[in-house]
Structure formats: structure tokens, C-alpha cells
Structure 1
Amino acid sequence: MSLINKMLQDLDARGTPEGRGDAAGIRSVPERERGLPRALVFGGAAGLTAAAIALGWVYLKRPPVPPVLVNVASNPVPVPVPVPVAVAPAPVASALAAEPKPAFQAEEAAPVPARVRSAEVRRITEKAVKPAAAPVLKTPVPAASERILDGKQVTPQQRVENEYRRALAQLQDGRVSDAMLALQQTLQLDPRHQGARETLVRLLLEAQRPDEAARQLQLSLALDPKQPAQAMMLARLQLDKANGGAAALDTLMRSLPYAADSGEYQAFLAGVLQREQRYREASEHYQLALQAAPDNSVWWMGLGIALQADNHPAQARQAYERAKSLQTLSPQLQAFVERKLVQLTASPAK
């Protein structure tokens, strides 16, 4: 208000008669030479003063307006529609973690133009959702038929052989129980592994566990009957049972088609048939066996027994004489053959 008061005082001083400036050698300007009348000048000054007072009043009485604070973090960020990608989400998380996060404070934030703010938010969002292309490591995935062992791919067959070798190593170290468990594990992986099956059967027989050995042989022959040696082993175990001849014959007959050229198999089958008093069939299989080994004195003796029981004494005498002449029988069997020859000589020939 001091500026306005001074203006009013100056105007008032200039308008008084003492202030016209008639003295000091300054000539008064005639009334007609002045550009504006004095009343008009005072009126204009009064109007300016009133306008200044009104503007000052409005300026001083207006309510304080708080500063407009813009928080970029509070603005909604347009999130693009997720696009399926072939890479794992780990790189996205890494990009988000690596992107510096601006810390906005409401008290310190300055107004940011909307256009700049939108561009910055879009840049951050696109960079987080679509990170730079990262190299995709194509690690070879083992097939379903393979496993990883000590960093190497192992096929099922290699696993079987590894387990079998482990069983043999344990057996060599005298750890029979552990070896039997490893052999059973080998057979679980490959039931047709004959080496593991035969080794396990032998260990079971040595441990006086014939029933378990017979069960292992039956499982093996059920999977593959083309195993004459196992069929003969199972038949021997079955013959040790009461009335086990029928079971032994059934076992041998099922594997016979795969042992037609085996003299040993034919002779063993002939002996079981003879035990079951099926002498004619027994003599036939003895003759088949002797075709493979004509100098086997024991088989000639067996043929003589079958022929004599089947009422063929002449043919039986010939078989006994052949067995005796080979001179390969044990003393007990040699004496047995001689007694049979005496019987056949004393009885009338048919």
C-alpha cells in the first residue's frame, strides 16, 4: 500500500496551487495549451488506484493451492497381452530383477509431462516382457529307454550287464548272499538273462534250496522252452520228488523239439521213460542217442534193459554184449551186465 499512497501524494502535490511551478523561472503553461483537463487526469488516477486496490485484495485473499504432485508409479501401466514363448520364464524374471526400479517419493516428485511419462513406462514394460534373446541351451534329453549313471547315458542292456558283473564280483569276494540278491535284481531287469539264471540256480542248489532252484528253472523255461540243459536240470530236481516222474517227463517232452540232435538229452529222456515203465519208448530214444554216440557203453546197457523188459531178449543180449565189449563200464556196471547175459543165456530164446 506504500507505493499507492506515494502515487496519491505525488498526484495531490502536483494538483495544488503551490505545486504549479510559477516561480523559479519556469513559465506556466496556459490553460489552453495543456493536452488534458485536470479533472480528467484526477479521474484517471483515481480509477487506476481503485483497480490496483482490487487486484491486491484478490491476490492476498485467494486460497492457497497445493502443488500438483504426479507419481509415475501410481499411474496405470498398460500391460501387453502375454505371448507364449518357447523359453523358460527365468530370463523374464532376471530381466525384471536387473531393470533398475525408480523410487518415487510423493514429497520430492516433480511434475512429469504425460507424454514423457507414458513413453518411459512403455519402454520399461516392453523391456521386461520381451527381454533380449537369450541363448537356449539344448541339452540332449535321454530317451525313455536310457538312464543317467555317473554322468553317462546307460541303456537297459548296459544296466543288466553292470548288475550281473557286480554279482560276479561279490561272488568272487565270497559274499554269496549279496551275489544272490544282485543276480535276482539282474533277472528282474532281464528275465531272459541265462547267465544270471544258471548262476543263481547253482548257488541255490549249493545252499540246499532245491525248491527255489526248481522255481527259477520253471520261470526260465516258461519264458523260453528252447533250453534243453535247463529242462534236464529241472527234470532231475523233479525226479527227486515222490511221484515226480510224470512232471519230469512233461518238462523233457516240452523241450524235446529243441534237442532232437542231442544224444545226452535223448538218453536222459529214455532213462525217465524206462523208470516210468514205458520200455518201448525208452528203447526208441536209446537208439536215437546211440546214433550220436555209438561207443557209449552205458547207453548200450540201458538199451539192453529196455529191450529185455519189453520182451526182446535176443536184441537185449546183443545190447549187453556191445556194452561189455567196450570195456568202459565201471566194475559194478560190468558185473551187472554179465549177470544179465547169464540170465538171457539160461532162458529160452524167443
Structure 2
Amino acid sequence: MSLINKMLQDLDARGTPDGRGDAGGIRSVPERERGVSRVLVFGGAAGLTAVAIALGWVYLKRPAVPPVLVSVASTPPAAAPVPAPVSAPAPAAAPVVSPAPAPVAAAPLAPEPVLQAGETVASAKMRDAEIRRITGKPARPAEAPVAKVAVRAAAPAASERIIDGKQVTPQQRVENEYRRALAQLQDGRVAEALLGLQQTLQLDPRHQGARETLVRLLLEAQRPDEAARQLQLSLALDPKQPAQAMMLARLQLDKANGGAAALDTLTRSLPYAADNGEYHAFLAGVLQREQRYREASEHYQQALQAAPDNSVWWMGLGIALQADNHPAQARQAFERARGLQTLSPQLQAFVERKLVQLAAAR
């Protein structure tokens, strides 16, 4: 009977906010009533049990109050921010969960509330909820705030630089230097333009626009050795530049015994000039200068396949064939050159003399 009394007292205490029982409601059975008949005792016990079950059912059906999260962090309580007091009780709103941009580690489960003597987990949760509703403060210290991940602006990559507050890629920096050099050249500041073009090539040695402009300025400034060095650097990086190879070969031919160097330059870029008549004719002239007449005649013939009406190249073919002891073929080449009527008067006279020589040799 004392166990039933204790259960009823607990239920009565939970039913009121201040923890006092209702004087007009259910009360405990006094000790002096033990002498009542057994039928009344058992009947009363059954009734009380039914009432207890009904009250328990009512309380179990009440809306569940979200559990209060208790901090399990190891930081001291003083470091945790004190929550602002709530002016009026308000129903707890369901938290809105926003989709996280990246998967994060699962938060630890909230610990169960601290139980007092004779309490169950459910009753302790309801007790804490009642204290929070009445006082506006949690029954225990608030949970330490979860550390927020600071989102910083991405630092510029190692390949980028910040100029005037803007991130500039290496390619953009090269183009900026090149445009600045061209602007200086347009303003007549040739010395500054030369330095700007050299700076552009230090950033990007394969920048052909800067290389060709620099070579042209060096040639205009009567600095052929520096121009040749720039062309050699360019062709070493990329031999697929027939025009630069021809320019370098001309500079090399201006030097004493420069024919071998010019031939080496032209030969290395020859695979990338198979259909270039100008290239073949220029190479043929260098070979003829080096007295390699058979090879010269072959390249003249390849050049004439691209431009069959070039009278100068026909004249060059005639010279190479005559030197290689092919007089009949040489005469045909000279006659074709004379018949096109596009030679200058000096060259036209030269061809006439060659035809006279070949006719006398027959």
C-alpha cells in the first residue's frame, strides 16, 4: 500500500507547476484505515490504479518538449556565452535545416538530463521543460556554441599576382607588358619600349609578337648581333618559323664565312617550309654561293613549282645548271627568264650575255 501511495504522490506532484498535490483530488491512504475490510481496501486500490493509469496516459499524450542540449565540451563554463533572457515564453519552433555545401562530421548526441532521486528519464525531461517555461532559462548551463568554420576568401594562387587590387594571371601579365611596350614605342620612347619587350620575353620567351618587334627595333638601331641572338633564341625554342630562319640566315651571310652558319639555320627549319617557294629559292641561292650547284638547282626547281612565272628564279636555275655542266638545260632556263619580260634592265642584259656564251660553246 505504501508503494501505491508513493506513486500517486509522484503523479500528483507532476500534475501541478509548483509540485504540490491537489487538496481536493487524490490523497494518500492514512495508516489508520488499515483496519477497513479487505474488500474495500482492494476495491480502492483497483480504483486508484485505474486513475493512475488514466493520468499517465494523459501525460504521455502531451506534446513532447524538445530536449535541452547540454554542452559536453571541455571548455570552462565562463568561456561559453550566456544566452539572452527570454522576455516571454514562446513555443519552440522546429529548426530549419539548410543543406550544407559540404559534408560535415555528425554532431554528438545530446546527453540525457541529470536524474534526481526517484526520477525517470521522461520525468526529468518534463521537469526541465517546466523550469524553462516558467523561468525562461534552461535548468542547466546552456550548451557551448558549436565552433563555426570561418570561410576565408581564397588566397591567390602562386601563379597569380595582385595588381591594383585585381588578380592577374601570368598570361594577362605578359599581355599587359607587351601592350605597354607598344604604347611606349608609339610615343617615341624607343629605349623604354626595348626594355618592355625584353621584360615581356623574360615572362614568356615564346611570345612571337614581342620577339619580332624587338628584332626589328634592334636592326633599326644598327645592332645586328643582338638581333641575331634574339632570333637564335626564338628558333631554339621553336624551329617552326621559316621567316625568322630566313632573317637570321641573312644576318649570318653578312659576316665573313657565314655561309655555313646560314645553311645550318635554313636546313633546321626546312621541314616546316616544304611548300614555301621563297624559302626554297633563298636556300638555293645560299647553296649556289657555297658552290653546291646541284642542290641549288633542285631547290630552284621546287621554288618554281610554286611560282612558275618568276623570272629571277629561272635565271638562278640557269646559273646553277650552267655551273653544274648542264648547258642545254641552262639555255632553256635563261630563255624562259628572258621570255617573261619581267627582269630589270641589268638582269635582262645579264641573261642575254649568258645565252650568247652558251651558243658559242656549242
- Specify the alignment match of 1:213 in structure 2: 227
Q: Which entry has the higher C-alpha Rg, 1 or 2?
A: 1
Q: TM-score, normalised by structure 1?
A: 0.62
1:263 alignment partner, one of 255, 264, 277: 277
- Specify the alignment match of 1:275 in structure 2: 289
CA shift, 1:140, in A, is 2.1
- Specify the alignment match of 1:49 in structure 2: none
1:101-116 matches, cutoff 5 A: none
What is the distance in 2 between the residues matched to 1:82 and 1:182? 59
What is the distance in 1 between the residues matched to 2:158 and 2:211? 27
Amino acid at match of 1:322: R
The reply to whether residue 284 of structure 1 matches residue 298 of structure 2 is yes
- Specify the alignment match of 2:345 in structure 1: 331
What is the distance in 1 between the residues matched to 2:323 and 2:189? 51
What is the distance in 2 between the residues matched to 1:202 and 1:173? 17
The reply to whether residue 299 of structure 1 matches residue 313 of structure 2 is yes
- Specify the alignment match of 2:268 in structure 1: 254
- Specify the alignment match of 1:159 in structure 2: 173
**Residue deviations 1:309-340 (CA, integer Å, cap 9, x gap):** 00001100010011111111111111111110
Amino acid at match of 2:183: A
Query: What secondary structure does 2:192 align onto?
Result: helix
**Residue deviations 1:271-298 (CA, integer Å, cap 9, x gap):** 0000000000000000000000001010
What is the distance in 2 between the residues matched to 1:171 and 1:131? 63
| Of 144-153 and 202-211, the range deviating more from structure 2 | 144-153
| Of 138-147 and 197-206, the range deviating more from structure 2 | 138-147
**Residue deviations 1:119-158 (CA, integer Å, cap 9, x gap):** xxxxxxxxxxx99967834212112221111111111111
What is the distance in 2 between the residues matched to 1:134 and 1:315? 91
- Specify the alignment match of 1:89 in structure 2: none
What is the distance in 2 between the residues matched to 1:245 and 1:304? 21
Unmatched tracts of structure 2, length 5 or more? 1-72, 82-143
- Specify the alignment match of 1:340 in structure 2: 354
**Residue deviations 1:183-208 (CA, integer Å, cap 9, x gap):** 00000000000000000000000000
- By relative contact order (CA 8 Å, sep 6+), the higher-ranking structure is 2
What is the distance in 1 between the residues matched to 2:170 and 2:351? 56
What is the distance in 2 between the residues matched to 1:82 and 1:150? 44
Query: What secondary structure does 2:154 align onto?
Result: coil
- Specify the alignment match of 1:181 in structure 2: 195
CA shift, 1:213, in A, is 0.3
Amino acid at match of 1:222: A
Q: CA RMSD in A?
A: 2.3
- Specify the alignment match of 1:20 in structure 2: none
1:118-267 matches, cutoff 5 A: 136-267=150-281
What is the distance in 2 between the residues matched to 1:307 and 1:259? 24
What is the distance in 1 between the residues matched to 2:75 and 2:235? 61
What is the distance in 1 between the residues matched to 2:197 and 2:74? 59
Query: What secondary structure does 1:153 align onto?
Result: strand
What is the distance in 1 between the residues matched to 2:165 and 2:317? 63
What is the distance in 2 between the residues matched to 1:263 and 1:330? 21
Specify which structure has the higher proportion of helix. 1
Query: What secondary structure does 1:191 align onto?
Result: coil
Q: TM-score, normalised by structure 2?
A: 0.60
What is the distance in 2 between the residues matched to 1:82 and 1:172? 68
Query: What secondary structure does 1:295 align onto?
Result: coil
Amino acid at match of 1:292: A
What is the distance in 1 between the residues matched to 2:75 and 2:251? 72
Query: What secondary structure does 1:148 align onto?
Result: strand
- Specify the alignment match of 1:104 in structure 2: none
Following TM superposition, the consecutive aligned residue runs of length 4 or more in structure 1 with deviations greater than 4 angstroms are 80-83, 130-135
Unmatched tracts of structure 1, length 5 or more? 1-79, 84-91, 96-129
What is the distance in 2 between the residues matched to 1:177 and 1:132? 62
1:16-35 matches, cutoff 5 A: none
Change (3 A) 1:136 1:290: same
Amino acid at match of 2:150: V
What is the distance in 2 between the residues matched to 1:285 and 1:211? 29
